[in-house]
Structure 1
Amino acid sequence: MKFGNKNRRKAGGQIRIISGQWRGRKLPVLDHEGLRPTTDRNKETLFNWLAPYLADSRCLDGFAGSGSLGLEALSRHAAQVVFVEKHKAAAMQIQKNCQTLKLSPEQAQVRQTDLLSYLQGKEQPFDLVFLDPPFERNLLPTAIEALDQHQWLSPEALIYVESEQDLNLDWPEHWQLLKQKQAGQVVYRLFQRQVEP
C-alpha cells in the first residue's frame, strides 16, 4: 500500500509493467495524496531478486495501493495474486486493471478490506508476500505476527518488506534476510522463511 505520508509524491496517474508478458504496458492508478507506487528502478531490482521464484507462485500483495507489485508478478507468470487494499477507490482501480489485462478470478483476486482483518481468516498459504504499508503507522509488526500465527506462509515463502529507514523492528528468527537495499529514506528487504526442523 502506498497511502499515509503527505510529504511523499502523488502518483503520476499510471504505473508501468517493466517486464514479462505485458512489458511496457501502462495502466492507470488512483491519483491520491500519499499514494506512492514503488519506483521502476526499485521494482526492477526487486524482481531481479525474485526471478528464480516467481513462476507458478501464489502471491499476496498486502497494502496493495496501486497493485503495481502484484501486477508485475503476474506479468512474470506468477500463478495467482490476491490484492488486499482497504481504500475502496484504489481497490476498484486494481480490479479494473485486472479486467483490462483479462485476468481470470483464479489469477487475480481483489479484496477490499484491511490487511490485518484479512489475515484473521484462513486460505491456502502464499509463496510470496509483498508488504508495503503506509509509513509511520506501525502496521508491520501486527501484519508479520498474523502471517506467522495464522500459517499464511508456505514453508520456504519469500517476504518482501518496504519500510521507512528508521523502523525499529525485531524480525522473526526463522526469517532469513536474503537481500537489502536502501534508497533515500526507504529500505527494501527480502526475507525467506526457513523450514522449521
Structure 2
Amino acid sequence: MDTQVLLIHVLLYVFLPLWGLAGFADWCCHRATRIEETSGLKESLMHSLMGLQVGIPIIVCLLFRINVLVLLICLLAWVLHEAVAHWDVHYAAPRRRISIWEMHAHSYLASLPLYMLAMIMVINWPVVVDLVTFAWQGQLRLVPLDVPHGGERYLPYYLTFMALLCVFPYLEENLRCLRHALKHGSQPS
C-alpha cells in the first residue's frame, strides 16, 4: 500500500470516526451538566454550527476532487470553526461547569479538524502549491469524483455513524434547550 492510500485510510477509518466519538463524548458532558438549565440554547446552537463547519468540508472532500476551491472551503471552514469554538468556551465557562472530560473532548474536536486538513494538504501537495502560488485557473469549481473516497459504501455508513453519534444527539440537545427556555419563559437565546 502506498503512502497516499495509507494516509487516506487513516483519514477515513481513524480520524473521521474519532471526530464523531469526540462529538458524542462532548454531548454526554453537556447532558451531564444540564446545559438546558445553564448556558442554554445559544451554546447548543454553537455546537450545531461547529458540527456543520466541519461536516460540510468533510462531505465536500469525500465527494469532490481536491482542488483549490475545495482547499479554500476547508481552510475557511476551519478558521470559522476555530472562531466559534473560542466564542463557545468564552460563553459557556461563566455559565456552567466544564469538566476535565469535556476539556479532553474539546481538545480532540479542535485538533482533529486541523490534522485532517493537514493530511488532505499533504496528500494533495501539488494543489497546495497551486493555492499558494495563485495558479487557480480551472480549479475554482467542484469536480465530482467518479467514486467517492472510501468507495460507494463508505459514505452511507459514515453518514449513518455520524447521524447516530452526533446529528441526533445534538438535535436532541437543541430541542431540550428550546423546551426548557420556552417552559421557563426565558428567551431562547
TM category (shorter chain) comes to: under 0.3
More contact order relative to length (CA 8 Å, sep ≥ 6): 2
User: Which structure has the bigger radius of gyration?
Assistant: 2
TM superposition score normalised by structure 1: 0.24
Larger fraction in helix: 2
Answer 1 or 2: which has greater strand percent.
1
